[in-house]
Amino acid sequence: TTYQVGYFIGSLSEKSINRVLSRALIRLAPAELEFREIPIKDLPLYNHDFDADYPPEGRALKEAIAASQALLFVTPEYNRGIPGALKNAIDWASRPWGTNSFTHKPSAVIGTSPGKIGTAVAQQSLRSALSFCNSPQMSAPEAYIQFTPGLFGEDGEVTDPATQQFLSDFMADYKAFVERVLTVLPPR
């Protein structure tokens, strides 16, 4: 069986190191996972006045999540939280009330930063939002990737065998998690 994975990059930067990490994850993932990016950069800033009539960007976001069987968040940490652009996308997808796109949608979070704690604090905050939004999350393994020079090539080649193994194992566990969730929790 193949699974459609919609992935979010929390950074809008052209040179995002989290985008590089996403390329590595896609390279190392089990072949049964098919990846499609869910773009967030064109979303207006959400407020609930939009709920009466979602604009095309908001609809496209909700349709992209509906078309995905599972979600993967690859995000930087900004000032000990997730970037506003990603939080904005989550807020869009969670509404209009009663149509929360995350309900029963399995997810996992991962991120990279140049610093030693590698997005750990942002991931905690993201997990809290996803919990509230009723998205079953892979609780372990956790993955806080310190982006050191030369660790990844531009296209996500991983130069360090231990990191390569760790990321392959993460994606293998993710696939098993998604499979398990979809077996017990039918999409809603």
- Binding footprint of ligand FNR on the chain (CB under 6 A): 11, 13, 16-18, 76-80, 113-115, 119
CB of 74 to ligand FNR, least distance (A): 8
Instruction: Select 100 or 113, whichever has its Cβ closest to ligand FNR.
Output: 113
How far, in Å, CA of 91 to CA of 10, rounded? 14
How far, in Å, CA of 8 to CA of 28, rounded? 17
8-state DSSP, 69? S
How far, in Å, CA of 157 to CA of 63, rounded? 31
Instruction: Select 76 or 136, whichever has its Cβ closest to ligand FNR.
Output: 76
Say what the alpha-carbon torsion angle 169, 175, 145, 163 is, to the nearest 10 degrees.
20
CB of 176 to ligand FNR, least distance (A): 27
The number of beta carbons lying within 10 Å of the beta carbon of residue 33 is 21
Instruction: Select 101 or 119, whichever has its Cβ closest to ligand FNR.
Output: 119
| Cα dihedral sign, 95-97-98-103 | positive
Q: How is residue 141 written in tokens?
A: 């393994």
CB of 79 to ligand FNR, least distance (A): 5
DSSP per residue, 73-136:
EE---BTTB--HHHHHHHHHHH-STT--TTTT--EEEEEEESSTTTTHHHHHHHHHHHHHTT--
Instruction: Select 65 or 82, whichever has its Cβ closest to ligand FNR.
Output: 82
CB of 145 to ligand FNR, least distance (A): 11
Instruction: Select 17 or 72, whichever has its Cβ closest to ligand FNR.
Output: 17
CB of 157 to ligand FNR, least distance (A): 17
